[in-house]
Structure 1
Amino acid sequence: MSTFEPAHSYPARQAPAAGTLAGLDERLIHCRACPRLVEWREEAARTKRRAFADWDYWGRPVPGFGPPDAAVALVGLAPAAHGANRTGRMFTGDRSGDFLYAALYDLGLANQPTATHRDDGLELRGVRITSPVHCAPPANRPTPEERDTCRPWLARELRLLRPTLRSAVVLGAFGWQAVMPALAEAGWAVSRPRPVFAHGARITLPAADGGAPLTLFGCYHVSQQNTFTGRLTPAMLREVLAAAAEAAGLPVPGPGPS
């Protein structure tokens, strides 16, 4: 970060300057724009959870994960303090990730059903996972200001994915609200009033410049609050992911067991 660049302006200045996803990720991991989030992610990395006392926590913003020519974007909420904030990769090292990657594997969109650390060999096929907030927030609740400060990263990521991106799955109402202005900045036309979140929602967004449209899907978040209570079952998640993959032109197998 430049000595003369205020921390809070870092995303707005740095994200649009990235010409590739790799370059975007490199800029993102140095972001310190939100003091509350910086303090929390670093405190979690220092104190650790007892089960992970021997881990060297990532403790930085967590970049997106997946190929640069992805046809499907999967948008979550934010890294978990002892999951992605520990491992440095989206949905890696916690039960939410276990639930998500098992479903992606069942559909042939991942090469293995588990995600434990950055070098575990996991590869995504045609899917890139990202979030509207890239630092772990206290109580998993970013503020609206933190969401808006982080938006340039998501908007630029979606813009860089535009040549191949054909569908997106948004996990939860927070991500749904956060992704709408980012999609508009990335070049898709978002109607007003904005579409309302619902599990199973499916909306087609035309490109503002006449390019390829984007099919947007809503899905309950893979948090334990939803998966442990049965509000979101493996079959429900697979159904949405399969529809998104099909809309994007990716091959998927037939339905499996619930």
Structure 2
Amino acid sequence: MTAAPEPDRNCPLCPRLHAFLATWREREPTWFNAPVPAFLPIGGEDAVRLLIVGLAPGLRGANRTGRPFTGDYAGDLLYSTLISHGLARGKFEARPDDSLELIGTAIVNAVRCVPPENKPIGAEINTCRTFLVPTIERFSNLQAILTLGSIAHQSTVRALGGRVAAHPFKHGGQSRIGDLTLFSSYHCSRYNTNTGVLTTEMFVNVFDEIAGFLGSRGVGE
């Protein structure tokens, strides 16, 4: 039996994350405080050509709002870049009821629940891959995946049945696994941008490559 692409709100598979969420449900009862589901585009699953895979929800970002990359800095850079490349429309206001809509793109995290100190452990990454695999499989028209950071990249490679050694992470990387083209970028976190690991130009360049790839295959026609 194929696993469901979305974990239950009270998913118990990772005891440490389950307990961490329970603590925050008590502290902040109005927050989302649950596994964050995939953010789908206009048209739903069949419209998805590009899947973006992040690491995990931020404590005061997606864990608070319930939408990937929403509520903390990483979303500012990600969504502005998506809009400028025609992969989203509307206005991103860092809340799930803003006017932002994705176009041909879905966004998900490799680990669905917020980890302490933003650092999931290996067992949690491996366990949550049971949801990443069917998430990828649910998109019948998927052509490309963008991984943000090495952990998301490695988990995605494994979810696709590839070997990490054959598809190493590097910023601006591109490789083929089966019928899908895998792109990779440094994560658009505040830490990476503040330290100069990732610049806006570097991030935009990755999306230039992706937009060119998708455009050559008739996306949006």
Residue among 181, 196, 201 paired with 2:173: 201
CA distance in 2, matches of 1:125, 1:241: 14
Q: Note if 1:94 corresponds to 2:65.
A: no
Which amino acid letter does the alignment assign opposite residue 155 of structure 1?
V
CA distance in 2, matches of 1:160, 1:241: 23
**Using a 3 Å threshold, how does the CA distance of structure 1 residues 238 and 17 change in structure 2: closer, same or farther?**
same
Q: Which runs of 5+ in 1 are unaligned?
A: 1-12, 19-23, 49-54, 185-189, 207-212, 253-258
The 3-state SS of whatever aligns with 1:100 is helix
Which amino acid letter does the alignment assign opposite residue 148 of structure 1?
N
Deviation digits for residues 212-251 of structure 1 (CA, Å, limit 9, x no counterpart) = x211111000111111122212221121123123222366
CA contact under 8 A between 1:66 and 1:124: conserved in structure 2? yes
Which amino acid letter does the alignment assign opposite residue 203 of structure 1?
S
| Alignment partner, residue 198 of structure 2 | 232
CA distance in 2, matches of 1:153, 1:136: 15
CA distance in 2, matches of 1:192, 1:71: 23
CA contact under 8 A between 1:74 and 1:169: conserved in structure 2? yes
Residue among 206, 210, 215 paired with 1:244: 210
**Using a 3 Å threshold, how does the CA distance of structure 1 residues 17 and 143 change in structure 2: closer, same or farther?**
closer
Residue among 154, 173, 179 paired with 2:132: 154
Deviation digits for residues 105-139 of structure 1 (CA, Å, limit 9, x no counterpart) = 11121113524222112210011001110000011
| Alignment partner, residue 38 of structure 2 | 64
Which TM-score applies when normalising by structure 2?
Answer: 0.89
The residue correspondences of 1:181-220 to structure 2 (distance < 5 A) are 181-184=158-161, 190-191=162-163, 193-206=165-178, 213-220=179-186
State the identity as a percent.
Answer: 37
Q: Which runs of 5+ in 2 are unaligned?
A: none
CA contact under 8 A between 1:78 and 1:134: conserved in structure 2? yes
Please say which structure displays the higher CA radius of gyration. 1
| Alignment partner, residue 118 of structure 2 | 140
**Using a 3 Å threshold, how does the CA distance of structure 1 residues 241 and 46 change in structure 2: closer, same or farther?**
farther
The 3-state SS of whatever aligns with 2:165 is coil
Q: Give how far 1:66 is off.
A: 1.6
Q: Note if 1:179 corresponds to 2:156.
A: yes
Which amino acid letter does the alignment assign opposite residue 173 of structure 2?
A
CA contact under 8 A between 2:73 and 2:190: conserved in structure 1? yes
| Alignment partner, residue 17 of structure 2 | 37
CA contact under 8 A between 1:93 and 1:116: conserved in structure 2? yes
CA contact under 8 A between 2:14 and 2:124: conserved in structure 1? yes
More displaced 10-residue stretch of structure 1: 87-96 or 231-240: 231-240
**Greater per-residue strand proportion:** 2
**Using a 3 Å threshold, how does the CA distance of structure 1 residues 248 and 191 change in structure 2: closer, same or farther?**
farther
Q: Give how far 1:42 is off.
A: 3.0
Which amino acid letter does the alignment assign opposite residue 122 of structure 1?
L
What is the root-mean-square deviation of aligned Cα atoms in Å? Answer: 2.0
**Using a 3 Å threshold, how does the CA distance of structure 1 residues 33 and 81 change in structure 2: closer, same or farther?**
same
Which amino acid letter does the alignment assign opposite residue 184 of structure 2?
G
Matched residues, number: 214
Deviation digits for residues 25-52 of structure 1 (CA, Å, limit 9, x no counterpart) = 3x5434221111012123234334xxxx
**Using a 3 Å threshold, how does the CA distance of structure 1 residues 198 and 155 change in structure 2: closer, same or farther?**
same
